[in-house]
Structure 1
Amino acid sequence: MHLIRRALATAGAAVLLTTVLAACEGGPPDAEQVTAAEPDGLTAASADDVVAVSRFLLDSASAVVLVPERESDEAFARARDLGVPALPDTEEGRAEAERLGARILGPDEDAGAEAEPVERSEDVTVATTRSPSRALVDLVALGGATLVRIASDPRRHAPSARLLRSDPDGPLLTLGASGYAVRVVRANAEAVGGGWFATRGKHLLAMYGHPSGPALGVLGEQGTKASVARVERLVRKYRKVAPDEHFVPAFEIITTVAAGEKGPRGDYSARTSVKDLEPLVDAAEKAGIVVILDLQPGRSDFLSQAKEYESLLRRPHVGLALDPEWRLGPKGKPLQRIGHVQAREINRTSAWLAELTRRHTLPQKVFVLHQFQTQMIRDREKVRTDHPELSTVIHVDGQGSPGAKFGTWGVIRSDAPKNVSWGWKNFVDEDEPMLDVAQTWNRVRPHPALITYQ
């Protein structure tokens, strides 16, 4: 038999049904358009797609036709007439022919009389984000699969997301799409407040502090149950001012606290145990409240401290905040000077958090960078903001008069990295005076993705 269907579901693959994708602005064409397309010959990029599809669909083939880059239509027509795969005439294509145990047909050579019809299985789909080559179209048809187009990030394209959610257990090979985004949609791993994104189309309203008491912020001014009620009241106040907006409650918990003493690790940073944080984190999850763990590392570093709270960061509703004000040098002490962090340390931390989120198929996490002086984040233009697993928020948390705060807001927002959202902090005791809810919403522009109260 020429080809034997591979009955498998590749790890990390998702399923896409044969339903036609609805066209939308910026979205892919529908499935009928793709399968009826008459694409150009093989390019280097499309050759890789063909090899990937062959590996996914086929266990063996008695013969193949090798097609050079930009080959004429005759090579594809010959493979189609013979009922054999057309593979790229590259090192990878020849290696795939060897894996299949296939004879490479010469220019005038027939496939042989022993050829039999291909065994077909209609429940397998190949989804591509790119315009498919003719070899890809023919190979998918030869293997009995269905070819469709999806968006590279199906979280941003509702028809793609609906298809992925329609049957999340069948085999699908995706070409070009974000594997993380496909798995998240397939698992229906929505962020708190709904949707696939932590801050897109929504505004987080956070109470900031430490559960031990009121000295470090409003979150410690009451017990766990009262904190839940208080942040829910805050959300209701904002909804009255802007009823058409989507507000989501949040707790930003100071998890490691800059300390005046060296402490047992000698780094001037006091850890809060996971056990002590769990009651507040559990209550937040039950109430639909985002949790942001805030790190003040002292002479330690952000990545080392973040890893200490991995068990909490594996939870779907928990994000992370880095506070460079309290990132000290090897001889620094809290309150002597404002700290700072290099972009490379932020990037190491965000890469670790993104990988954790991806590995556990968690919804997108909010990743907050506190900044009220330009020097607090060195080489800020080098900060990575392209992790699909994270929503990066630069949180402008200066205190003082409204005029001073708006001045800081303008300075920090200047020349910022792309793809970031913005955060604003109201200090209940330190601001002179603090903006009320209506003033915060109407005067702080663009509207912040994260508004925090300390």
Structure 2
Amino acid sequence: MTIRAKGRLAAAASGLVLVLAATGCTAADSGDASGARSQKNKDSVVLAAPVSGVGRISGSAEDMALKASQTFFEKAPAVVVLGNDGAQAAATGQARELGVPLLVAPEAQEDVSEQKAFASELERLGARTLIAHGALPDSLVGGLKVVDGSAPNADLPDIDPAEGTTESGFAVVVGSADKEAESAGPALATAQAAGANLHTMDSPDPRAAKNQKFFQDHAEAGLYAIGNGFGNAEDFSAMAATAAGGKELPGGGQLVFPDRRMVALYGTPGTSSLGLLGEQDVDAAIKLAKKYAAEYQPHSKEKVQPAFEIIATVASASAGKDGKYSSYIPVEVLEPWVKAAEEAGVYVVLDLQPGRNDFLTQAKRYEKLLTYPNVGIAYDPEWRLKPNQRHMVQIGSVDAAELNRANDWLAELTREHQLPQKVVILHQFTQSMIRNRSTLDTSHPELAMVVHADGHGSPGMKMGTWDNLRQDLPKGIRMAWKNFIDEDSPTFTPKQTFDIDPKPWFVSYQ
């Protein structure tokens, strides 16, 4: 006899896989509901109810199989068990077909706690029959009936299905590498046995363009990540929430790179002396930024995004009322530019020239603007003064620890508001401008960090700066370039700029 079960989906293809597993009380057909039962049939398969939020199923193949059984099943009188030298493909296929969990038997010589956990799960499920693929240690069998699941005419038990089925409510993510997929196979089979549908992912990041819609469509589902390839659990949960929230960058998507490059006008609104951006009003600036981006597009396979880099705090010759040698452009002055840019599909970077302030203090002043999905930040250490220093007398500098504190705050703000990734630009033209650069924290998934080669002069001088800044560049940071219209001799053309090796991800015009 065989367990009566509804049709199961085929095994997962290569790549990342999302699984939607049916919730409710059965993994089998509803059967004849006319005969009332006085009690719940002890031979029925009962699924667990989904839990909202994001869970993790990771560890060894044994651990993942055990956790998957606990996650998706409340009751299963028969369990498929993958033992020593058993064929995993046959075991996973049978578990999916029968609609029961698949467990991996611990080796006889393994820690006693592993064997106790295995036995406890069988007891929790109410299992009385083990459908074995491969040899099982005698210590695991106890008084249970063992059926050789690999035998051609295996005598499998007949299990009455519980009544009723419900809609899907689980979402499960599985790792992509061949080794990872193999270790996660038994856990995936258990999810599929609970009524799984599959969704293939090209990337483990929920915010990736091909994943985002799935997370939006299943924002209310219980989500589980199966495998060891998903990094920090808290980060994954936050990225899933961001993907489900649906806020996007100009041009679409939630990840800044590598699907786009940016070309920006640099300066301050209403101040022509500080850069190209301030030479016209916002509508004309948008038009000009789009013109520049269009000129770069023929030289890039990635989409070239128009952008503004707005100097939000301006280094000043006088100390000012606070004695910090930096003046703030009011939020109410900058917000119309941010809104107009957002409507026009233009990205905005707020550049900070802090004087004797620290970068975090200044960044917090613009918290409202940084909650827009099209706004990132730039730190300009040239204008970060130590006590008793003055602008144009010394070149400023900053320690990486200060930048890390500002980025910690920005990453948390981004996560809290479920915003797409933010561009973070580090302006630099000498190595000494960012002290201890090797200690920069590049681990925040909310931030896309870029070092901006901010030197001007002849092509040879600029390339010398570029090559110098690339030395010992921390992993996870990309390179950016600035073209000075008046100071460079000559100014690079779009083709010349994108012929630089490596091709800049962000280009600004001052």
Do the structures match in fold with TM over 0.5? yes
Structure 1 residues 5-154: aligned runs within 5 Å: 5-8=47-50, 10-11=52-53, 44-46=59-61, 49-50=64-65, 53=68, 56-58=71-73, 60-61=74-75, 86=103, 90=113, 107-110=141-144, 117=161, 121=166, 123=168, 124-129=170-175, 130-131=180-181, 132-133=183-184, 136-137=187-188, 139-141=190-192, 143-146=194-197, 150-151=201-202, 153-154=204-205
Q: CA separation of 1:433/1:157 partners in 2, compared to 1, >3 Å: closer, same or farther?
A: closer
Aligned to 2:266: 208
Look up the equivalent residue of 2:224 and give its one-letter code: L
Q: Deviations over 1:172-206 (max 9, x none)?
A: 32235433444444444432223442132322111
**2:252 is matched with which residue?**
194
The one of 288, 299, 305 equivalent to 1:230 is: 288
Q: Which residue of 2 aligns with 1:324?
A: 381
Distance 1:46 1:84 in 2: 14
- Residue 134 of structure 2 is matched in structure 1 by none
What's the counterpart of residue 490 of structure 2?
A: 433
> What is the one-letter code of the residue matched to 2:174?
T
**What CA RMSD, in Å, does the superposition of the two structures yield over aligned residues?**
4.1
Q: Displacement of 1:397 after TM fit?
A: 0.7
* Bigger proportion of residues as strand: 2
Partner in structure 1 of residue 224 of structure 2: 173
The answer for the alignment partner of 2:442 in structure 1 is 385
Paired residue for 1:283? 340
CA 56–318 in structure 1, closer or farther in 2 if over 3 Å, else same: farther
Quick one: distance in 2 between partners of 1:360 and 1:420?
A: 24
Distance (Å, rounded) in 1 between the aligned partners of 2:301 and 2:189:
49
| Change beyond 3 A, Cα 1:56–1:234 | same
Give the Cα–Cα distance (whole angstroms) in 2 for the partners of residues 253 and 209 of structure 1: 5
What residue in structure 2 maps to residue 309 of structure 1?
A: 366
Letter of the aligned partner of 1:190 in structure 2? E
Distance between the aligned counterparts of 1:269 and 1:91, measured in 2? 62
Q: Aligned runs of 1:224-303 on 2, under 5 Å?
A: 224-239=282-297, 242=299, 246-303=303-360
> In 2 relative to 1, CA 333–156 (structure 1 residues): closer, same or farther, beyond 3 Å?
same
Deviation for aligned residue 1:383: 1.8
Distance 1:93 1:362, change over 3 A: farther
Q: Which amino acid aligns with 1:216?
A: L
Amino acid at match of 1:449: W
SS of structure 2 residue aligned to 1:440: helix
Label 1:83 to 1:447 Cα distance change in 2 as closer, same or farther (>3 A).
closer
Q: Could you say what secondary structure the match of 1:399 adopts? A: coil
1:390-409 counterparts in 2 under 5 A? Answer: 390-409=447-466
The residue that corresponds to 1:374 in the other structure is: 431
Give the Cα separation in 1 of the matches to 2:172 and 2:261: 37
Partner of 1:23: none
Equivalenced residues, count:
420
The amino acid that maps onto 2:322 is R
Q: Which amino acid is 1:387 matched to?
A: H
Is it true that 1:453 corresponds to 2:509 in the alignment?
Answer: yes
Please give the secondary structure, in 1, of the residue aligned with 2:53.
coil
Q: Which moved more, 1:321-330 or 1:142-151?
A: 142-151
For the structure 1 residues 210 and 156, does the alpha-carbon distance in structure 2 shift closer, same or farther, using more than 3 Å as the test? Answer: closer
Offset at 1:384?
2.6
SS in 1 for 2:438: helix
Q: 1:409 to 1:168 in 2, by over 3 A?
A: same
- 3-state SS in 2 of match to 1:429: coil
- What 5-or-longer segments of structure 2 have no aligned partner? 1-39, 107-111, 129-139, 146-156, 231-235
Structure 1 residues 316 and 101, CA gap change in structure 2 (3 angstroms): same
Contact 2:208–2:255, Cα closer than 8 Å, also in 1: no
- Percent identity of paired positions between Structure 1 and Structure 2: 37
Residues 301-339 of structure 1, C-alpha deviations (whole Å, 9 max, x = no match): 222222222221111100111111112223322222111
1:347 aligns with 2:393: no
- Supply the distance in 2 between the matched residues of 1:384 and 1:349 (Cα, whole angstroms): 11
Structure 2 distance, partners of 1:219, 1:256, is 15
What's the CA shift for 1:349? 2.3
Inter-partner Cα distance in structure 2 for 1:110 and 1:253: 72
Contact 1:192 1:290 in 2 (8 A): yes
TM-score normalized by structure 2?
A: 0.69
What amino acid sits opposite 2:450 in the alignment?
V
> Which residue number in structure 1 is paired with residue 151 of structure 2?
none
With over 3 angstroms needed to count, the CA separation of the structure-2 counterparts of 1:381 and 1:144, relative to structure 1, is: same
Equivalent of 1:420 in 456, 477, 481: 477
Once residues 217 and 425 of structure 2 are traced to their aligned partners in structure 1, the CA distance between those partners, rounded to angstroms, is 34
Contact 2:207/2:240 (CA < 8 Å) preserved in 1? no
AA of the residue aligned to 2:369 = L
Per-residue CA distance 1:125-151 (angstroms, 9 max, x = gap): 422214244652454255444566645
Rate the CA distance shift 1:195–1:135 in 2: closer, same or farther, 3 A: closer
Tell me the amino acid that sits aligned with residue 220 of structure 1. G
Corresponding letter in the other structure for 2:172: V
Structure number with bigger Rg: 2
Structure 2 CA distance for aligned equivalents of residues 53 and 72 of structure 1: 22
Q: CA deviation at 1:272?
A: 2.0
* Shift in alpha-carbon separation, 1:440–1:95, aligned structure 2, 3 A: same
How far apart in 2 are the matches of 1:157 and 1:150?
9
Do the aligned residues in 2 keep the contact of 1:295 with 1:321 (CA within 8 Å)?
yes
The answer as to whether partners of 1:97 and 1:103 remain within 8 angstroms in 2 is: no
Q: Which moved more, 1:123-132 or 1:396-405?
A: 123-132
